[in-house]
A and B are shown apart, each in its own frame.
Chain A
């Protein structure tokens, strides 16, 4: 149980374009979803927290107009990187927290490369 999927697993896009990453909880309803970014050999950096039907809460230093988060349902959250630049290239990971639990369950991650 507690399976989280992400799509796509890898994406390459050109500078200036936008890319959308989907995060789904497959076998539970996620009260809260989180989006992280991870640089090579570093730990996870929280970008934002989202609750279904509410606006996302962004961490300090994260541009909300650049990283658009939509938590449309209890099983789906999306992250859209707008006007992507090479410095946005990174490993993006989502997690989902089932209602009534404290644990977060993570997706497999999405490798974004901006050329």
Chain B
């Protein structure tokens, strides 16, 4: 069964304290892995797409990496405005383009 697990469930960081979020996945044929940011009461905001092991993508303080079993979202020197829930989703090769979402990591960055 296709599955996505994110850890930790919640993370509190001091401003400037770098850390990583994990997304472990099991899927029968990975088409793509996607990272989103979701603020309370809003829809998810697209961050990155990763397709193959070894691929990396960067945007401001965020960097996403991918291996054959997991993906990491590295946050360098975070700021309070980075506080949000970060969601990971995988897409299999079924042709339906459906996502399987993880349960997310709730990040709180303290000033």
Contacts and interface: CB of A to CB of B under 8 A. Distances in A.
- Which one of A4, A34, A43, A95 has the greatest number of beta carbons of chain B within 10 Å? A43
Interface string A77-110: 0000000000000010101010000111111110
Contacts of A4: 43
A91 B41 CA distance: 8
B101 A44 contact: yes
Size bracket of the A interface: 20 to 34
Nearest to A107: B43
A50 to B, nearest CB: 11
Interface string B30-62: 011010100001111110010000000000000
Given A49-B96, A97-B97, A104-B99, A43 B104 contact: yes
Interface of B: 31-32, 34, 36, 41-46, 49, 87, 91, 96-99, 101-104, 106
5 contacts: A43-B103, A93-B43, A102-B91, A103-B49, A106-B45
